[in-house]
Chain A
């Protein structure tokens, strides 16, 4: 994390630095007004209670998620991981408000979520989540203008978040001129600029090459450290979960339930034995029934 921080520091200009600092200090004030993450969950940012999700098929109603419950406290980083097809993306969509739960309830900052909104900003997996007809800056500023900020306020806030994401120099480019990694950075900047109660990310680095992916994971950690944003991150990669997360929600096969809620904060560096243990443990949990498990297999 310190490494990531130093990378950032070296990339900034004086002006950029001051702009970013002002944005961050404002954010920090807001965040610090929230209760500490170590307090008990009465002030949970996200509360998922006995949620059931499914869809209609010609044969009838098919359950993807049977019964999932967990809570996310302020500033926490929750990773939702599970075997493919277990409904983790569906769960994220439900939290975001795109789907209504068939059963149970989802509350964000105390309010029942019924439809999508900027308090649960989403970063999708596809690169094409930016508006191609707007510049990078406008892609970040426009959602702010929609949410009642003035033109100038939106523009300067947007610049601040672009600085944060390391893209200040690309503000006037169009999305099609950016690489995949840069596009995802813009998407992150856009989501954060909305100052959501919780940031939702649906396998955002899944389409990137291994190197870029690793870089962005580090950058994301650095950004979140600064903005103190609460995170819910869906992935199928164990390593990603361990690098990014505080706690990991492991889902089972569909119709899924929560297999385990694992705290991974004390896991340490990737070359430590604690890391390897946790990795094996998660690998075992993720195996399908009856599957032969190579616990030491490395997949990103």
Chain B
């Protein structure tokens, strides 16, 4: 006997559409969802420590870490370490960006420059910053210049690639408009090419920052001074030497938190510029 008059549907369609289970969760505001998730993870962490009691010299509880974190900021150790790291990173990225701009302009104007940039990038980009560090220490001595060199190397290539791509993919119509309204070449570059390439520039800076951040922490771990001059990487290493495990964790928490801060910052910048101008659909970070 025929069961129904309608044609046979594939199995997935013949069942009623189910509403997603956690309808309530999706409705909560973003900050609440993430805070709850974070609290849950910390809860699991604390439970593990309470139940399994791992060796204090290997693992710390959330409470101890929290305490170390608060104390670290209160007595200024974490603050000065953070400032040191951020300072060196900023200068390093500045140098990297400067060199990248020079290389990019050269690459955009001449074919020789373009080839040079491509070659250098393929050779030097894959080098992890920390791998260059021993050589840098030899050339620049045991001081911050070696770190700056390493950071610059880590950041030049992502920035240069992105800006070059940005310049290359500028809509030629816009450039024609710029020439039409009578812009000099200099103004054409600053008022048309640079803003048009902004999405790529920001993308390049984000990548450069990501590489640079990871590089400097790693480099600080390998090479660092004692005392007030050390950055976050050194802070962690030092804490470990003194077997202060909660401080090690606190340092890691600081690094992670700073990572979030900077990414948020980039998101804000993007929202104010490229998203507002419709040159990019959504910021890549929340």
**Are A and B associated in one complex?**
yes
Residues of A within 8 A of B (CB): 96, 98, 115-118, 120-122, 124, 126, 128-129, 131-133, 142-143, 146-147, 174-177, 194
List chain B residues, Cβ under 8 A from A194.
181
Once A132-B278, A132-B279, A176-B277 are accepted as A-B contacts, the answer to whether A116 and B180 lie under 8 Å apart by CB is yes
| Also in contact, A118 and B195, with CB within 8 A (given A129-B173, A132-B277, A177-B278) | no
> Which of A128, A133, A143 lies in contact with B181, CB distance below 8 A?
A143
Is A128 touching B174 in the complex (CB atoms < 8 A)? yes
Residues B176 and A124 in contact, CB atoms below 8 Å apart? yes
Q: How many residues of B contact A (CB 8 A)?
A: 21
Name which of B171, B182, B273, B278 has the most chain A CB atoms within 10 A of its CB.
B182
Mark out the residues of chain B between 145 and 200 whose CB falls within 8 Å of any chain A CB in the assembled complex.
171, 173-174, 176-177, 179-183, 187, 191-192, 195-196, 198
Q: Are B278 and A176 in contact (CB under 8 A)?
A: yes
Is B63 interfacial (CB 8 A cutoff)? Answer: no
With known contacts A129-B173, A133-B198, A117–B277 Cβ distance under 8 A: no
Task: Give min CB distance, B187 to chain A, whole Å.
Answer: 7
A194 to B171, CA, bound (A): 22
A121 to B176, CA, bound (A): 11
Give CA–CA (A194, B182) in the complex, Å: 10
Is the beta-carbon distance between B181 and A146 smaller than 8 angstroms? yes
**For the complex, what is the distance from the CA of A120 to the CA of B182, rounded to whole Å?**
10
CA distance A120 to B181 in the complex (A): 9
Report whether A122 and B180 are in contact in the complex, using a CB–CB cutoff of 8 Å.
Answer: yes
Question: Judging by beta carbons under 8 Å apart, are B195 and A133 in contact?
Answer: yes
B87 close to A (CB within 8 Å)? no
Question: Could you tell me if A131 and B181 are in contact, using CB atoms closer than 8 angstroms?
Answer: no
Cβ contacts A to B, 17 pairs, < 8 Å: A98-B176, A116-B180, A117-B182, A126-B173, A129-B174, A131-B174, A131-B192, A133-B195, A133-B273, A146-B183, A147-B181, A147-B182, A174-B276, A174-B277, A175-B278, A176-B278, A177-B278
With A131-B195, A133-B195, A133-B279 in contact, is A124–B177 under 8 Å at CB?
yes
Kindly state the separation between the CA atoms of A128 and B183 in the bound complex, as whole angstroms.
18
Contact A174 B278, CB 8 Å, known A126-B173, A128-B171, A128-B174: yes
In the complex formed, the residue of A with least CB distance to B182 is A118
Residues on A with beta carbons closer than 8 Å to the beta carbon of B176: 98, 116, 122, 124, 129
**Is B180 touching A96 in the complex (CB atoms < 8 A)?**
yes
CA gap between A107 and B196 in the complex, in Å? 33
Please state if A118 and B276 are interface contacts (CB–CB under 8 Å). no
Contact residues, B269-283 vs A (CB, 8 A): 273, 276-279
Whether B278 and A128, one on each chain, are in contact in the complex, defined by CB atoms closer than 8 angstroms, is: no
* Additional pairs, 10, CB under 8 Å, beyond known A98-B179, A116-B179, A174-B276: A96-B180, A118-B182, A126-B171, A131-B174, A131-B192, A131-B195, A133-B198, A143-B181, A147-B181, A174-B277
Q: 8 tightest CB-CB pairs across the interface, nearest first?
A: A176-B278, A143-B181, A116-B179, A133-B195, A132-B277, A133-B277, A118-B182, A126-B173
